[in-house]
Amino acid sequence: MSRQISLTQYLIEQQREHGHIPQELRLLIEIVARACKRIAIAVNKGALGDVLGTAGSENVQGEVQKKLDIIANEVLIEANEWGGHLAAMASEEMDGIYVVPNRYPQGEYLLLFDPLDGSSNIDVNVSIGTIFSVLRKVGHSRGVAEEDFLQPGKQQAAAGYCVYGPQSMLVLTVGDGVAVFTLDRETGSWVLTQEQVRIPEDTKEFAINMSNMRHWAPPVKRYIDECLAGSTGPRGRDFNMRWVASMVADVHRILTRGGVFLYPWDQREPDKPGKLRLMYEANPMAFIVEQAGGAAVNGSERIMNLQPSKLHERVAVALGSKNEVERIAAYHREAAQK
């Protein structure tokens, strides 16, 4: 691009010329982006900043927290609580919602986030990220409760993620396509580097944790078996497999060159519909992927149509190139009819 466009300029143009976002939402996204910049700096310091290793605590899901999980969570809360654009926040790292304190003005938006996705990769210097989702508070009552957050993903006003890798990148949608910004470390600005990202409808690449194969449901095993059979199998072409174990990194690759990402239900915990969190991970990623021309399902249903019943609800996920995701959904529907 001959003329560098900052995130602020991009958002102002979205607000002024296209009417896609109100001013309050624009300012909220800018604050989240500034918080992600602070997290990127902490991630880059690594051992020099004493941010590696575990914190000796567990989150609400019983997972061991890394030091950076807690730091990222605190950065996002501190950055957003005073801006006047939010009524409350919810985080994968907190049991309940965080209501904006009375000493600050309350806004009409709700912010949900996974402060540091892929934290198992922190200590081995592999790409990790922050995922966020913005909802409008339904109703005009002064109070805010957990129920206000329980909206299907199709109600999202905005969603995005930051990936902290060789470059720090911010991927954003406000419901009119997907834009990518790269952090210019010399100026401290998020600079627009790609607009209207499109995921190819077809692909020869899939991402799944193959070590769990024996635990999968038949439709998932059927799909992967067909991919592995390659050019001599029913698909008639060879597939490659990728797996980073960081949803942000895997989804970013799919946005860049296509592919399909699966984190399916498995029989080790049959009562849980999946591993990933609907509100903090699946919904925002589904919004981004759909806005880029892809698809996202929990097996047979569109993820963004699902009605959450609790804040930390889990869900199975298959997302990415549209035709492959539709094939996976068709296999699930066929299995359900048997």
Residue that the structure tokens 């300012």 belong to: 27
What six digits make up the tokens of 182?
Answer: 């790269």
Length, in residues, of the chain: 338
175 φψ region: left (φ > 0), alpha (ψ -120 to 50), beta (else) = left
Instruction: Give the dihedral of Cα atoms 130, 312, 176, 110; nearest 10 deg.
Output: -90
For helices 67-80 and 23-45, angle between their N-to-C axes, nearest 10 degrees: 150
Neighbours of 152 (CB within 10 A): 16
Q: What SS3 state is found at 326?
A: helix
Does the annotation place 211 within a ligand binding site?
Answer: no
51-72 per-residue burial string, b: 16 or more CB within 10 A, e: under 16: bbeeeeeebeeeeebbbbbbbb
Residue 266's H or E segment, with its range, is: none
Q: What is the rounded distance in angstroms from the CA atom of residue 298 to the CA atom of residue 97?
A: 25
Is 118 labeled as ligand-binding? yes
Sheet containing 128-136: give its strands across. Answer: 98-99, 86-91, 109-117, 128-136, 158-164, 168-173, 178-184, 189-194
- Sign of the C-alpha dihedral, residues 313, 318, 323, 327? negative
Structure-token match 């991402």, residue found: 207
Closest CA to 112 of 305, 313, 301, 306: 313
Say whether 281 counts as a known binding-site residue.
yes
Per the annotation, does 120 bind a ligand? Answer: yes
Whether 92 has a binding-site annotation, put simply, is yes
Instruction: Report phi then psi at 260, rounded to 5.
Output: -135, 140
CB-based contact 307:150 (threshold 8 Å): yes
Q: Whose CA is closest to 115, among 159, 149, 69, 156?
A: 69
Output the known binding site for Mg(2+): 92, 114, 116-117, 281
Output the known binding site: 92, 114, 116-120, 209, 275, 281
Output the known binding site for substrate: 117-120, 209, 275
